[in-house]
Amino acid sequence: MQSKTFILVALATMGQARFGQEGLVQASIQALSAFGAPGAAGTLAGQTPGVLLAGASACAKLSLADDIVAQLGNDPQVLAAAAELVAAEKNFNPSAQAIPTICSDASLPATEELRGIVPLVDPAVVGADVQNANSAQSLQAPFVANGISVADLSATQGFSNFTEQA
């Protein structure tokens, strides 16, 4: 009886978890195989899940987005895929941490076309509605972000329920 109860609780918990968020951008980057050196897009795409996992540095995805542009060029398709990575939701485990992390390194992303984009956050986070609306808006028209980090930009745009990470 106890094992059945445990299984039901585990299934209910898993049903509410947001699995697979780290893989959503991967296909966009994989599709850039016509750009850069042969195999570069696949290698870069393979790195996307790792930079979006909960334990990864919040700045790692911004560095990877810069690498995508550096290796594949600044074609609009490449920039769009890199921007999608910048805006992608980084996983976070609400049972292990209370709020998400956002990069506080003002030098990232270094690619000018990627600056001014803020990331999505888990909808369960207080204030996520503001941040996620800002993220969608910033993909269409990036915010002015001269000399400030993505964390500072998020705070300037009204979202402060996060931990800064350099």
Consecutive 10-residue averages of pLDDT for the chain (166 residues):
43 44 82 97 96 93 98 98 97 81 98 98 94 98 96 98 95
Cα of 52 vs its chain's centroid, Å: 6
Q: What is the pLDDT of residue 23?
A: 63
Q: What is the pLDDT of residue 100?
A: 94
Domain annotation covers residue 17 = no
Q: What is the pLDDT of residue 7?
A: 39
What is the total count of domains within the chain? Answer: 1
Place of tokens 């750009």: 35
Q: What is the pLDDT of residue 144?
A: 96
* Torsion on CA atoms 62, 145, 106, 68, rounded to nearest 10: 20
149 C-beta neighbours (distance < 10 Å), count: 22
Domain annotation covers residue 114 = yes
Domain annotation covers residue 14 = no
Domain annotation covers residue 6 = no
Domain annotation covers residue 104 = yes
| Stated pTM of the model | 0.87
Angle in degrees, 0-180, between the axes of helices 60-72 and 76-87, rounded to the nearest 10: 170
Domain annotation covers residue 90 = yes
Q: Which residues span the domain enclosing 42? A: 22-165
Domain annotation covers residue 15 = no
